[in-house]
């Protein structure tokens, strides 16, 4: 919230009725300013004050949604220029382009890969988000036919791309209920595209030739009452796109420029024909500050690194990345397989689970919640101590999964083995390797 507690207090009813749970209106105002309370908690705040406070609370980059219900994609809503200041909120949407000149086979291949390429990392599912359907022939029926195919494939988060307003109208007859993003209003069709977006209540992309033109266009559309806008600055070379992305974010956040306070869309698919270059351009756009980025195709070897990069950029830098606590099965373990334990710092989990996988030895990996700290740090902070490990072991369900009672602990915390044996009298505590790289030979000889 941009207002101070005192500024907010001036907009509250000042009756000190305490219905919001705060002892006074001033206390409530202070909580609001600190982001520890919601304005809705006060039932008596006037509509006028509500409007003022909501405006002040709105993020400088507007939150725009594409899709409906459970199939909702969010972009924008950002409040900081640099990730280390706080956190980036809504991950860049990764989309794939299909056009009405592609063969049925090509379209089906892209749609299949869109649906099938997904990866699980630290309890999160990483996958692409959107399909951009492009009308290149200008033929309404051909475009509609392609849209139908996409809808039939069960794709619900869509970007409709056409230069013809009537083709957008025709496409919306089929997928208007999915609330797609329309691409794009430009200086030649601004009013007509604005009217379609307003009538159909769908978000609208704005394409200008440079930021000055973009601002003229967003200004006109805002005057028409449209606020769910996504910006394309028009650049198609990496230097220009990069400069525009940074310029838009700075103008909106630092300069308070409302005409540029919208998420952006970029098109690495239109910047090169080289797949590797395209991937590198997308990798540049994700941290710098694309709301949506469109690729020409999806292949595991290029998509996966982008998804992991996106996951890293859009995590809170002030919080350790943590894996969910639990029992992880690696290489199909059974009741005789070794049981290892580690902490839930994601990097530790990735390395340890990767080495176990490499060993090809079926194993159980217990991951204990340690607030995302690594083994030694968690031990030093008392979050990987014998008593809490014993408690976790009992509730984890591992006792029912294995016949033996042998637990392998990380070599770095060999010092807790005595205490662990006291806490888990039925278990033999075995000291595992200090370095994860030594896990495969250790497991191969384990008994
Ligand atoms: Fe003040 Fe509203 Fe809280 Fe009552 S509910 S104390 S009026 S802020």
Query: What's the 33 CA to ligand 1 centre distance in angstroms?
Result: 15
Buried b (16+ CB within 10 A) or exposed e, 192-225: ebbebbeebebbbbbbbeebebbbebbebbeeee
Nearest residue (CA) to ligand 1, atom 4: 17
Tell whether ligand 1 has an atom less than 6 A from the beta carbon of residue 38. no
**What would the mean pLDDT of 143-161 be, rounded to a whole number?**
97
Buried b (16+ CB within 10 A) or exposed e, 106-141: ebeebbebbeebeeebbeeebbbbbbbbbbeeeebe
Tell whether ligand 1 has an atom less than 6 A from the beta carbon of residue 20. yes
Task: Classify residue 408 by burial, with Cβ atoms within 10 Å: 0-12, 13-18, 19+.
Answer: buried
State the pLDDT confidence band at 33, using cuts at 50, 70 and 90.
Answer: confident
**What would the mean pLDDT of 356-382 be, rounded to a whole number?**
94
Q: Mean pLDDT lowest for which of 30-44, 112-126, 220-234, 282-296?
A: 30-44
Query: What's the 78 CA to ligand 1 centre distance in angstroms?
Result: 29
What atom of ligand 1 comes closest to residue 23's alpha carbon?
6
Query: In the predicted model, what is the mean pLDDT of the chain?
Result: 94
Q: Is the pLDDT assigned to residue 214 strictly greater than 70? A: yes
Rg (CA), the chain: 27
- What is the predicted pLDDT for the residue at 195? 98
State the pLDDT confidence band at 2, using cuts at 50, 70 and 90.
Answer: low
Which residues are CB-neighbours of 380 under 8 A, at least 6 positions away? none
Residue 63's CB: how many other CB atoms inside 10 A? 17
CA 49 to chain centre: 33
- pTM for the model stands at 0.78
State the pLDDT confidence band at 395, using cuts at 50, 70 and 90.
Answer: very high
Nearest residue (CA) to ligand 1, atom 8: 25
Q: Is the pLDDT assigned to residue 247 strictly greater than 70? A: yes
Query: Which of the pair, 183 or 5, is modelled with greater confidence?
Result: 183
Helix (H/G/I), strand (E/B), else coil: 124: strand
Q: Is the pLDDT assigned to residue 323 strictly greater than 70? A: yes
**What would the mean pLDDT of 358-368 be, rounded to a whole number?**
96
Tell whether ligand 1 has an atom less than 6 A from the beta carbon of residue 18. yes
State the pLDDT confidence band at 1, using cuts at 50, 70 and 90.
Answer: very low
Per DSSP (E only), the strands in 186-331 are 204-207, 229-232, 265-266, 292-295, 326-330
What atom of ligand 1 comes closest to residue 25's alpha carbon?
1
- What is the predicted pLDDT for the residue at 26? 93
- What is the predicted pLDDT for the residue at 209? 96
Tell whether ligand 1 has an atom less than 6 A from the beta carbon of residue 13. yes
Q: Is the pLDDT assigned to residue 265 strictly greater than 50? A: yes
Query: Which of the pair, 247 or 120, is modelled with greater confidence?
Result: 247
- What is the predicted pLDDT for the residue at 153? 96
Q: Mean pLDDT lowest for which of 29-38, 46-55, 56-65, 421-430?
A: 29-38
**Portion of the chain with pLDDT greater than 90, in percent:** 84
């Amino acid at each position: 919230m941009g207002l101070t507690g005192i500024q907010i207090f001036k907009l509250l009813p000042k009756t000190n009725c305490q219905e919001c749970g705060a002892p006074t209106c001033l206390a409530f105002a202070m909580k609001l300013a600190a982001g520890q309370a919601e304005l809705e908690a006060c039932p008596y705040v006037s509509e006028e004050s509500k409007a003022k406070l909501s405006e002040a609370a709105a993020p400088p980059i507007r939150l725009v949604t594409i899709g409906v219900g459970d199939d909702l994609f969010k972009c924008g809503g950002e409040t900081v220029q640099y990730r280390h200041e706080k956190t980036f909120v809504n991950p860049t949407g990764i989309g794939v382009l299909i056009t009405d000149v592609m063969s049925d086979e090509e379209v089906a291949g892209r749609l299949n890969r869109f649906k099938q390429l997904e990866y699980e990392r630290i309890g999160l599912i990483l996958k692409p988000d959107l399909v951009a359907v492009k009308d290149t022939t200008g033929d309404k029926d051909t475009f509609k036919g392609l849209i139908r195919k996409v809808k039939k494939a069960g794709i619900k988060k869509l970007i409709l791309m056409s230069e013809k307003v009537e083709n957008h109208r025709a496409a919306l007859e089929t997928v208007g209920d999915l609330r797609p993003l329309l691409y794009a209003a430009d200086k030649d069709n601004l009013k007509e595209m604005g009217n379609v977006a307003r009538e159909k209540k769908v978000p609208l992309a704005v394409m200008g030739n440079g930021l000055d033109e973009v601002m003229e266009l967003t200004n006109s559309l805002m005057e028409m009452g449209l606020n769910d806008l996504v910006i394309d600055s028009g650049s198609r070379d990496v230097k220009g796109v990069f400069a525009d992305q940074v310029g838009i974010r700075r103008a909106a956040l630092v300069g308070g420029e409302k005409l540029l306070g919208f998420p952006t869309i970029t098109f690495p698919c239109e910047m090169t024909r080289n797949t590797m270059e395209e991937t590198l351009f997308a990798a540049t756009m994700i941290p710098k500050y694309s709301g949506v980025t469109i690729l020409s195709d999806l292949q595991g070897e290029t998509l996966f690194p982008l998804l992991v990069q996106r996951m890293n950029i859009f995590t809170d830098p002030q919080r350790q990345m943590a894996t969910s606590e639990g029992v992880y099965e690696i290489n199909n373990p059974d009741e005789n397989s070794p049981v290892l334990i580690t902490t839930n710092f994601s990097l530790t989990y990735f390395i340890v689970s990767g080495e176990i996988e490499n060993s090809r030895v079926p194993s159980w990996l217990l991951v204990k919640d340690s607030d995302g700290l690594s083994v030694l740090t968690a031990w030093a902070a008392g979050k990987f101590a014998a008593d809490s490990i014993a408690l976790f072991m009992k509730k984890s369900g591992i006792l029912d999964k294995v016949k033996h009672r042998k637990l392998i602990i990380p070599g770095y915390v060999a010092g807790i083995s005595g205490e662990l044996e006291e806490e888990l009298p039925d278990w033999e505590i075995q000291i595992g390797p200090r370095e994860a790289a030594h896990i495969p030979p250790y497991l191969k000889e384990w008994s």
